[in-house]
Structure 1
């Protein structure tokens, strides 16, 4: 990929960083409230997620911050321990454990998440985003952002009755105007070229102006439907914003158990999001997941030391980042800078932003994640791809993210066990460097369990190399492997001048679908 200068990179990612900041701000507050923690603890976690994890991670799309998936654990933990200060010690322990997991190279488990399950997870998150933002879009904000489960205690009749009776005409107008601006900004060529002025910022500015115009009328949006940041009035108020840990918690077994729980759940959610973020990256770059676990560990250590919530890489923010055109991790860092500066200097202005405007931004993000085209795409791939996809989608919405992914992987393993599994062979980077020509011979059956070996082999292939990938003897190839090879041949190979030749591939995935699963061997030739 063509290298860009530091300042060019910042300029390219400034608009996307601004969009992520606008999306992340209410999410950080909502998750803190849903977690039973001080409101600013979510903002602190968002700032650390942008500045610290954004700097240490090598993910180009992922954005970290407080996660809805941890809200229930945090709420129960604070109630069980009796104080937020003791809970912060559990966050420190979680960070230490994540750091250890990174050094133990536990991040490699992400290679075994099938693509259809990841896509199902993203689609499920998209549906959740839409369902959660509809109340904000119409001015009925009964639920906190941090509650990821849609159907916990859900009564459809009560929900619709309350929703219809509590609709705010002003919020609806602002949502519709914001959606019109955002959609127009993506469609009109002249507006798309104004890269330094993202549509989301224009929508926010217009939303603030409209609500100022509505003041004193029936259209005015109530204060509870606006962003609500604490506004310190003095130096003493600033000091009270930060909470420090009670280190006596290190002597409490319950704190250690809670810390270990947070570390495991946060690490799995992060790895899932990293895999999803890499799929959203137009350049198909591969994140070092072990480095990501280390970055998350350091981030959680720092966040907990200064009163912040535990963090993960977050799908909602990462999706907004990708949709806004981010090209590097500078976007995540910029969002952290914006959050720090604006929270300290202009919270009164941020508190004028209608949640309806931010709901419009997230509604479009949700639609792109769960578009009907994605459903059709997997339907056409056949039952081996569609059933794990749709099972994951439904379970993520009805249960939660981890249970949904576990169910989807269960479906994938069930289909996998119907066939034969063979061992994959991996050649090191040094061996590939010695080769003038790399030949990858796919075996008779190739499954997603071989994804790690093939991904490592493709990652280690040098620029300006010659690669032959042969499927001459292959009767079945997992869709994950086909997509990985397509991404390598069509994106990275073009950018890095790698000569790729494909042999023996069938014309469609369906031609492989009735057979079963696989391995890969690699041979390499030297010129004598």
Structure 2
């Protein structure tokens, strides 16, 4: 597990710095205690990371569940009762894993998965803008994390009226450090590869903040634009931040409705993230999805028992892990340990980190995921790949993750159906001799009821005095609906002087009296 320590440690630091603000922001957007997001991040890293079969996937609280959690807490009336639903959801996920429900993730086409990655990259990029500008909506720039769809763009326009100079400066400095470190310095000397650029940006950001702290100048960064984690004075205060489920109302039917909702949504998000993470993995390893559901279920059970938010595998942290050079699950586990140690040992130090530094890290990750080259590459693959990809991107950015994926999947299915409709047969006009049009129609390997409209159109469009060769030697499956069309057409063929020569694996026959009988029972000898 630790054989790639020199790669996994720097990657875990990057994931840690990415996960910390996300855990806080998602907890805020969910209407839950801020510490609940940190708890979910710790359990997602240490517990799920240890059990999971994913080499590079990182688990923690997911933005996609924020609205579900916010509504559930309101409906149930208390966070303690909501935690009961999280525990039950975890147990349901374990059951799904043992029932081998992990195969569901493989039914999503790669074009939809790539669209999901690009859309998430765009959303990540857009949602860092308030942190990069120092915009404050109420008490914190994290409030922007709960916006979805076109509200994102409305919010971006409004926030241009409130920009903090100091935050913008440190964001630009951090971006410069990250780009120069990645594109120039890391290629100059091995030492720059050992020290991660985001760590350098964080140190520079803290120094910048300390220099201008209390100065009252435009370059000062105020508390709302700094990381904020609870600062306990002793162990009892730290443990006092934990919240425990209220099992006294375990018979409440609403709890089970919430639990089922969380289990289904969290499992689907996890499976999609697994698929996307495996595609990003340079080693192209395949995650055992059933084991992943069990791991997520155990993680959610633990998280619910100690006051944490629901957990899923999340593509933001997983992609940050991969982009930072992570090799094994050790980076995931270490990021969880870093979250735990940081809130215990150095919470005051963490609260010196400007959010602009973390925004810079996520801006680069977002750009890498939504790289314009991906759009160009997908467009070159043709409409069958590009349309589901593009619809998925637009729908996720305009609505939310699950709606976008389902719309992309629907377009992918429609594209397949259209192609099936078109590709059921091949029609070739060979020649005209003895006053007859010689035409060859070759059926595909599988011809279903979806193809009958196209076949019927071609058959009834044949001119009079045609000699039609119908070749079904490659056909392995021929739907009864299509056979009915052939039987009906045989009557029309006689009136139009159309001769049909049927070529099959059994041999050749002209104008068979019944196609359904011919393919249904062995009467070839008599027909021949």
Cα distance, 1:338–1:155 mapped onto 2, change above 3 Å = closer
Structure 2: distance between partners of 1:420 and 1:181:
52
Structure 2: distance between partners of 1:106 and 1:326:
28
Structure 2: distance between partners of 1:31 and 1:107:
26
Gaps of 5+ in 1: 1-5, 422-442, 446-472, 475-528
1:8 paired to 2:3: yes
Partner of 2:243: 243
Structure 2: distance between partners of 1:394 and 1:230:
38
Partner of 1:167: 163
2:203 paired residue among 202, 205, 208: 205
Contact 1:185 1:192 in 2 (8 A): no
Contact 2:61 2:312 in 1 (8 A): yes
Partner of 1:178: 174
Structure 2: distance between partners of 1:132 and 1:305:
31
Structure 2: distance between partners of 1:420 and 1:155:
39
Contact 2:29 2:146 in 1 (8 A): no
1:72 paired to 2:67: yes
Cα distance, 1:56–1:33 mapped onto 2, change above 3 Å = same
1:63 paired to 2:62: no
Contact 1:13 1:330 in 2 (8 A): yes
1:344 paired to 2:339: no
Contact 2:130 2:144 in 1 (8 A): no
Structure 2: distance between partners of 1:192 and 1:167:
38
Partner of 1:228: 228
Partner of 1:82: 77
**Other structure's SS at 2:296 match:** helix
- Give 1:151 deviation, angstroms: 3.0
- Supply the RMSD in Å over aligned alpha carbons: 1.9
Cα distance, 1:155–1:295 mapped onto 2, change above 3 Å = closer
Partner of 2:451: none
- Give 1:396 deviation, angstroms: 0.5
**Other structure's SS at 2:312 match:** strand
1:121 paired to 2:135: no
Contact 2:117 2:369 in 1 (8 A): yes
- Give 1:248 deviation, angstroms: 1.6
Partner of 1:32: 27
Cα distance, 1:123–1:332 mapped onto 2, change above 3 Å = same
Cα distance, 1:444–1:283 mapped onto 2, change above 3 Å = farther
Contact 2:2 2:330 in 1 (8 A): no
Cα distance, 1:13–1:349 mapped onto 2, change above 3 Å = same
Alignment of 1:400-411 (within 5 A): 400-411=400-411
Cα deviation, 1:370-417, whole Å, max 9, x if unaligned, reads 111011011111111111001000011111001100001101100111
1:111 paired to 2:109: no
Cα distance, 1:155–1:299 mapped onto 2, change above 3 Å = closer
Partner of 1:43: 38
Cα deviation, 1:326-349, whole Å, max 9, x if unaligned, reads 111111001001000111010000
**Other structure's SS at 1:358 match:** helix
Contact 1:34 1:147 in 2 (8 A): yes
Contact 1:28 1:42 in 2 (8 A): yes
- Give 1:12 deviation, angstroms: 2.2
- Give 1:278 deviation, angstroms: 0.1
Structure 1: distance between partners of 2:165 and 2:144:
25
Cα distance, 1:155–1:419 mapped onto 2, change above 3 Å = closer
- Give 1:7 deviation, angstroms: 4.2
Structure 2: distance between partners of 1:71 and 1:41:
12
Gaps of 5+ in 2: 422-443, 447-473, 476-528
Structure 2: distance between partners of 1:381 and 1:193:
40
Q: Please tell me whether Structure 1 or Structure 2 has the larger radius of gyration of its CA atoms.
A: 2
**Other structure's SS at 1:417 match:** helix
- Give 1:166 deviation, angstroms: 1.3
Contact 1:186 1:192 in 2 (8 A): no
**Other structure's SS at 1:204 match:** helix
Structure 1: distance between partners of 2:39 and 2:200:
26
Partner of 2:355: 355
- Give 1:50 deviation, angstroms: 0.2
